Amino acid sequence: MSRITSLAAVAAVSAGLLVAGSVPASAHAASHPRHHGLDQHSLASGWRHVKVHHAKHAHAPVAGTPVTKASGLLGPLTFDVGRGGTLYIGQDFSGTLTKVAPGGVATDLVGPNGTDLAAVSVHRGAVTWAERVGDEESVTSSVLKRRAPDGTVTQVADLLAYDAAHNPDGSTTYGFTHLPAGCTVPPGFQYTGGVDSHGYGSVTVGRYTYVADAGGNDVLRVDRRGHVSTVAVLPPKAVTVTADVAAAFGLPACVAGSTYLLEAVPTDVEVGPDGWLYVSSLPGGPEDGSFGAVGSVYKVNPRTGHVRLLATGLAGATGIAVAPNGTVFAAELFAGDVVSISTKGVVSPFVTLPQPAGVEWHRGKVYVSTHVLSGPVGEVVAVPVR
């Protein structure tokens, strides 16, 4: 299961941060820090300016001047760059898959269909994406689709059916780990992973497509026949509950100082030059600074499923890209930054951009989707790396 809820949700919505669109969403802030689909409401209501200070280290990449490659987009949370610089963009809030040629001519390949459309990637001219139908509370459909170079669209796999049958994180416990004797919390603050699916990032390598499932808290492998298997379940993120957080959620004062395990919520997956999968994680719970910057980037061995933490302390890790030398670029949606992460896990500032989400590497440039929560003014920009 996954949900973004926020202590700032009501204030954010009332301040007009909720983006208009057709994706169904619950209009209320949930009463516990779980984290169901990364939909327009949850992202917008969770968004609040959070600036995280990363130190610039020697030999860290330097950003050139961003150049706009596409504009007028509605919620471009995920995208990919194809041959010749052609962009394939998922306009999540309208359920539209859009192709933008290098000259800027845009063509809608799929939709608008009102679904949650994410996990866009391209491989040998075939475009893959995920569609989800549901809201923060429930999901009725989560599938992986593909458009062949000849325009034929097929359903590759039923991600929700797989999660319902296997529930990879079903044995993982979320919530409080050790409470003081006699300290009890309401139902919902301690639970195991339930059935949920939200394909949010994808990448195809050889015979397999790997999917970062934000609902299942796992990384999935899908073969050419649509057979789905689990590569790894990402570990929960441990945070310390402060007295202020306890009060905001209506919890007893005795929980202050206790550890809470948040759902991992993977948001993107890429393959590095070392053959490992690189996965960004935007953990469930408030992203307004109450728990600090809890986003992370993990490395996952696609053969063994071994998970290794590369870096943490990111404010809204929604998208990543891996350069040929192994440097990782990660978006911090809630801080308005893109950072670089060295092969040793050293985080450095790279470029400041408004509401960055998707990140891709293409021919010496970092492509970033921006203004993703501001209505139909989203963009994709290319940032040269020096």
CA-nearest of 49, 31, 20, 19 to 288 is 49
Would you say 245 and 290 are in contact if contact means Cβ atoms under 8 Å apart? yes
* Residues 341, 335: Cα–Cα separation, whole Å: 16
Task: Locate the domains of the chain by residue range.
Answer: 9-384
> pLDDT higher for 136 or 83?
83
Please report which helix (H) or strand (E) contains residue 244, including its range.
Answer: helix 243-248
* Residues 99, 79: Cα–Cα separation, whole Å: 10
What is the mean pLDDT of the segment spanning 86-111? 96
Which of the residue ranges 84-93, 183-192, 293-302 would you say has the lowest mean pLDDT?
A: 183-192
DSSP H helical ranges for 25-167: 40-46, 159-166
pLDDT band at residue 191 under the 50/70/90 scheme: very high
pLDDT at residue 9 tops 60:
no
CATH number among 2.120.10.30, 3.90.480.10, 3.30.2020.30, 3.40.50.720, domain 9-384: 2.120.10.30
pLDDT band at residue 43 under the 50/70/90 scheme: low
- pLDDT for res 23: 23
> What is the rounded average pLDDT for all residues in the chain?
88
CA-nearest of 355, 333, 291 to 33 is 291
Tokens of 128: 């893959």
Q: For residue 180, give every residue at least 6 positions away whose Cβ sits within 8 Å of its Cβ, in sequence order, or none.
A: 254, 258
Other CB atoms within 10 A of residue 192 CB? 13
pLDDT at residue 312 tops 90:
yes
Would you say 323 and 340 are in contact if contact means Cβ atoms under 8 Å apart? no
Q: Which residue has the tokens 């706009």?
A: 68
Rounded to two decimals, what is the model's pTM? 0.90
87 alpha carbon, distance to own chain's centre: 19
Other CB atoms within 10 A of residue 376 CB? 16
